[in-house]
């Protein structure tokens, strides 16, 4: 199953790379809206690549909606994604999509923090 943050990450890869990965992933159905058809998933990933916004419309858990944006580094390398997930009764999908600017700011800040961290610096001193 490929949901939310994973969709945002996969959408940043080339189509050939995505297809190679998807061939090795089981597409199980934990909820009624989970995408299990490889071509339908590829179409969704292309849309996410164009908009930069991943949407989970009850694909993971019935009654749960989410939006995700990838954190993109300086060289357009995708890093972890930022997402917001809520029960449909607490927030509608439209309300979550309206939070896109906030998610993008958080994703940009996360990318900067990860790029600033240098392994050669070692762990912080106590």
Residue ranges and CATH numbers for the domains of the chain are: 4-116 (3.30.450.40)
> pLDDT per residue over 62-77, tens digit each?
988 888 887 766 555 5
Specify whether the backbone of 125 is left (phi greater than 0), alpha (psi in -120 to 50) or beta: beta
pLDDT in the model for residue 43:
92
> pLDDT per residue over 79-109, tens digit each?
667 777 778 777 788 888 888 898 888 888 8
């Amino acid at each position: 199953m490929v949901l939310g943050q994973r969709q945002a990450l996969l959408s940043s890869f080339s189509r050939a790379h995505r297809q190679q990965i998807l061939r090795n992933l089981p597409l199980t159905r934990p909820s009624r809206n989970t995408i299990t058809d490889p071509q339908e998933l590829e179409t969704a990933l292309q849309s996410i690549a164009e908009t930069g916004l991943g949407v989970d419309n009850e694909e993971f858990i019935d009654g749960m909606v989410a939006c995700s944006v990838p954190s993109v580094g300086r060289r357009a390398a995708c890093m972890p994604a930022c997402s917001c997930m809520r029960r449909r009764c607490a927030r509608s999908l439209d309300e979550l999509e309206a939070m896109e600017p906030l998610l993008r700011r958080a994703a940009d800040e996360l990318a900067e923090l990860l790029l600033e961290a240098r392994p050669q610096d070692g762990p912080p001193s106590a």
